[in-house]
Every structure is written in structure tokens, then in C-alpha cells.
């Protein structure tokens, strides 16, 4: 038997123990709650930080997309580089941006485009790579980021940089594959302005800019070569053509029918080569942006009717019937008379060339809502195999049945057509059946 005192003592001890446990639970719960709240606040701040970073990166990516679009529209090298430095400054949110290109000896860097830099800073001249450790390392392929401009021995013109207010910078090589041809730099007026993410983003921008510069330089070099070659070939070709005509007409002595036929074939070859040179020259000028036309309202119906007067004689020789339907009240189309002349010359001449004797060509032009003009050129010619249609607008492509029909043709006519339509914001649709003919549908924006 336990005494009453011992029972009370045991009960008090149990109660005290329970109170201690309850207190401990409360304290632990409070501590856990506080920890969870702190953790949630930290997570919240982290999420907010990540959200802000994502928003900032999204803005940069959108800006980069706009930069790519703008550079893609540039046809001049200087325009392209100026767009890159201007947009680079704005996208990176920095003081200035510059592109420097290597000279032919790869010993010096010359400022070719800057944005945000003073005339005095640019006037310091070219950068001698041997005297600039930073630029030498970049040309060797390094990415260079300087958080604080204070290591004077790294720069060729340290005093000018301080006067310009440049506190930090990132410079990257302009590189296409393994070839480095210049340097792309961004400059900030605050120290340690560039994070790792900034450098990675600018690296992407630099790579894209390098690709655009190199592609345009390549295109301009090709254009120069084509123009030079075309001009060099034209004079001797004209001379040979003139001599062949003189011989064929018997001015330097009699010729028999067989010799006359040979001379005529030679003339045709020379004329074909002359056409090829003319087409190449026209393409190169257009692609180099040297053929910038002033766009004015043009009645394309009148252009087509004028050209039909020229091609009817050629069509009559093959007994081809040309039927056209062009209303007088046709809306004007914004463009240039010469562009439309080139456009429809290629289309009508092709229709006549590839339509057999006794065939027909139908040309119709009319307004098509909303705000467009539609032109349809339909012939009963040789047609185009279905598998060849996707290649029609490829340089120098001629279908097998086209080659079998005539040796004439440069394979550039429809390329010229497509490029003119692109310039005029127009479209072309091709429908064709071998042995039955071809239907080309053009759509052009109407004025007003």
C-alpha cells in the first residue's frame, strides 16, 4: 500500500514532467515556425530575384532578336556595324560600344564603328596589338573582362581611357569558326559592372555580329568580282559578236549554208553569254543595295501592254496567240517602272520561249480585295515537273525539259523575278502540269 503523500508526490512529478514536455513542444514549434517563416522569406526573395533576372534576360533576348532583324536588313557593311554598336550599347545598358577590325597585316586594330565614345578618344588612332596586352590576348582568342581600369601596363592609351570615364569593360573576339578578324567591346562608367551572365550574353551578341559581318563582306566581295568580271567580258564579247555578224553576212568573203549555220549558232552562244552577264550584273547590283529605286505609284497594266507590243512579233513567229485582259481602272502599285519592266520581261519572255508552236498565252490583271492587285500569266507550254518546282528560284537552275526545248536561258530569270517581288513586298505562286502548261499568279500591294 502506498501512502497518500507518496501518491501526491508522484502526481506532482508527472504533472511537472508534462508541463516541461508541453513547454518544450511550444518552444520547438515556435522555433520551427520562425525557421520556416525565415526560410519562406528567403525563398520568396530568391524567387523574386530569379523572376527579376528572368525578366531582364527576356528583355535582352527580345532586344537581341530586334538586333538580328535589323542587321539582317542591312546591305552596307558600315550600316551593319553601326547598328551593332548602337544596339549593343542600349541592350547592355552601358556607356559605349565599339567594333575594331584587324588590318591586312593583322598587326593593328582600327576603330570602324563606335557608339557613345567621344571624337577625342577615337582620334587616338589605331591600336598596335604589340603595345596592348589585352587586345593581343583577345586576337589570340581570349575573352577579356576588366572590372577596374587601373592596370596601366595592359593598355596602349590608359590616360585617354581615364579621361573618357571608362571604369570597366568587356572585349570579345569577332570570330567565325577559327578565324578572328576583329574585337567587339562594351564600356561602362562604373567599376565591376559586368556579371558572368552579362559576359555570356555579350558573347552571344558578339558571335552573331561576327557572322553577319563576315557574310556581308563575303557577299560584297562576290558582288565586286561579278561586276568586275561582267564589265571586263562585255567589250570582247561585243567585239566577237560584231565580227561573227560581219562574217555571216559575207562582208569579208562568201560562205556556204553550212558555214552560215555554224556562225549563227556561235552568235546565239555569244548572245546567251551576254544575257548571262547582264543578269549576273543586275543581280549583283540589286543584292549590293546599289539599285535603290524611288518607289512611286505605277500602273502595271500599261507596263505589260508596252512589253506585249515587243513580244507579239516573237510570238507570231511561233504562231502563239497572246490574249490579255487588263481593265483601265486598275489600281496603281507602289514600285518603279524599271523594276516592273524587268519583272514582266522575264515572265513574258519565258512564256513565249517555252510555249510550243500554235499554243497560247493568257495574261490577266485585276484588283483583288483587300488592297492587292493580282496578275495571272498562263501558258500552254511544256510545263514543269512537280519535283522541280521548289528549285525554280534557285540560281542557274533549269529544268530538264526546258534544256531539251532550247539551249537559250541563263537559269537566272526567275531568281530575278523573286528578288524583285521581295523588294516590292509581292508574292508568286506556281502551278504547272508537264505537257499542259504553267500558271503563275503574282500578288502585289495596291496603292491606297
User: Given 3.40.50.300, 3.60.15.10, 3.40.50.170, 3.30.565.10, which CATH number is that of 296-445?
Assistant: 3.30.565.10
Provide the grid cell at 128. 598596335
Select the highest-mean-pLDDT range: 32-41, 315-324, 392-401: 315-324
| Angle (nearest 5°) at CA 124 between 123 and 125 | 85
In the chain, the largest separation of any two C-alpha atoms, in whole Å, equals 157
Percent of the chain at pLDDT exceeding 70: 74
At 48, the pLDDT band (50, 70, 90 cuts) reads low
Give the residue extent of every domain in the chain. 16-73, 74-211, 220-287, 296-445
What pLDDT does 376 receive? 96
Rounded Cα distance between 177 and 211, Å, is 9
Rounded Cα distance between 296 and 293, Å, is 9
Q: Which residues contact 57 (CB under 8 A, 6 or more apart)?
A: 197, 201
Over residues 292-301, the pLDDT tens digits come to 667 889 999 9
SS3 content of the chain, % helix, strand, coil (to 5): 55, 20, 25
Task: Give me the residues paired with residue 171 across strands.
Answer: 144, 185
Rounded Cα distance between 244 and 235, Å, is 14
What pLDDT does 289 receive? 57
Rounded Cα distance between 11 and 220, Å, is 101
Task: Give me the residues paired with residue 176 across strands.
Answer: 179
Over residues 91-100, the pLDDT tens digits come to 888 999 999 9
Q: Which CATH superfamily is domain 74-211 in?
A: GAF domain (3.30.450.40)
Provide the grid cell at 37. 517563416
Look-up: residue for cell 555569244? 270
243 pLDDT higher than 80: no
Closest CA relative to residue 286, chosen from 238, 333, 338: 338
Select the highest-mean-pLDDT range: 25-39, 263-277, 411-425: 411-425
Reported pTM: 0.49
DSSP string, 219-230: HHHHHHHHHHHH
What pLDDT does 262 receive? 80
* Segment holding 130, helix H or strand E: none
- CA distances to 35, 46, 383 from 359, rounded to whole Å, are 90, 76, 12
What is the gyration radius of the CA atoms in the chain, in angstroms?
A: 37
Beta pairing class for 168-176 and 144-146: antiparallel
Provide the grid cell at 276. 548571262
Average pLDDT, rounded, for the chain: 79
Amino acid at each position: 500500500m502506498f501512502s497518500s503523500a507518496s501518491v501526491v508526490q508522484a502526481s506532482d512529478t508527472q504533472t511537472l514532467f508534462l508541463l516541461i514536455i508541453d513547454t518544450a513542444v511550444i518552444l520547438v514549434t515556435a522555433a520551427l515556425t520562425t525557421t520556416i517563416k525565415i526560410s519562406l522569406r528567403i525563398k520568396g526573395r530568391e524567387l523574386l530575384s530569379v523572376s527579376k533576372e528572368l525578366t531582364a534576360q527576356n528583355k535582352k533576348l527580345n532586344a537581341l532578336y530586334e538586333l538580328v532583324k535589323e542587321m539582317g536588313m542591312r546591305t552596307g557593311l558600315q550600316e551593319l556595324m553601326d547598328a551593332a554598336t548602337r544596339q549593343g550599347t542600349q541592350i547592355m545598358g552601358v556607356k559605349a560600344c565599339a567594333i575594331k577590325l584587324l588590318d591586312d597585316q593583322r598587326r593593328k586594330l582600327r576603330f570602324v564603328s563606335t557608339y557613345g565614345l567621344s571624337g577625342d578618344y577615337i582620334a587616338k588612332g589605331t591600336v598596335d596589338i604589340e603595345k596592348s596586352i589585352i587586345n593581343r590576348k583577345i586576337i589570340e582568342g581570349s575573352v577579356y573582362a576588366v572590372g577596374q581600369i587601373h592596370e596601366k601596363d595592359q593598355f596602349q592609351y590608359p590616360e585617354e581611357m581615364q579621361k573618357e570615364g571608362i571604369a570597366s569593360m568587356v572585349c570579345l573576339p569577332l570570330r567565325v569558326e577559327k578565324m578572328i578578324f576583329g574585337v567587339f567591346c562594351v564600356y561602362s562608367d562604373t567599376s565591376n559592372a559586368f556579371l558572368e551572365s552579362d559576359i555570356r550574353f555579350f558573347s552571344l551578341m558578339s558571335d552573331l555580329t561576327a557572322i553577319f559581318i563576315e557574310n556581308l563582306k563575303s557577299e560584297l566581295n562576290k558582288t565586286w568580282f561579278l561586276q568586275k568580271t561582267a564589265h571586263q567580258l562585255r567589250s570582247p564579247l561585243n567585239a566577237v559578236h560584231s565580227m561573227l555578224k560581219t562574217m555571216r553576212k559575207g562582208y569579208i568573203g562568201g560562205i556556204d549554208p553550212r558555214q552560215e549555220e555554224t556562225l549563227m549558232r556561235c552568235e546565239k552562244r555569244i548572245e546567251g553569254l551576254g544575257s548571262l552577264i547582264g543578269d549576273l550584273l543586275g543581280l549583283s547590283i540589286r543584292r549590293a543595295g546599289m539599285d535603290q529605286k524611288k518607289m512611286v505609284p505605277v500602273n502595271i497594266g500599261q507596263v505589260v501592254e508596252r512589253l506585249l507590243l515587243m513580244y507579239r512579233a516573237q510570238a507570231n513567229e511561233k504562231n502563239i496567240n497572246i490574249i490579255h485582259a487588263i481593265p483601265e481602272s486598275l489600281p496603281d502599285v507602289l514600285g518603279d517602272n524599271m523594276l516592273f519592266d524587268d519583272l514582266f520581261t522575264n515572265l513574258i519572255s519565258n512564256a513565249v520561249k517555252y510555249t510550243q508552236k500554235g499554243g497560247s498565252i493568257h495574261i490577266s490583271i485585276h484588283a483583288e480585295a483587300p488592297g492587292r492587285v493580282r496578275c495571272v500569266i498562263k501558258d500552254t507550254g511544256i510545263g514543269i515537273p512537280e519535283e522541280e518546282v521548289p528549285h525554280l528560284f534557285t540560281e542557274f537552275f533549269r529544268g530538264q525539259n526546258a534544256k531539251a526545248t532550247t539551249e537559250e536561258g541563263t537559269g537566272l530569270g526567275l531568281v530575278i523575278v523573286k528578288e524583285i517581288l521581295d523588294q516590292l513586298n509581292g508574292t508568286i505562286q506556281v502551278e504547272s502540269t508537264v505537257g499542259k502548261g504553267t500558271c503563275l499568279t503574282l500578288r502585289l500591294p495596291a496603292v491606297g
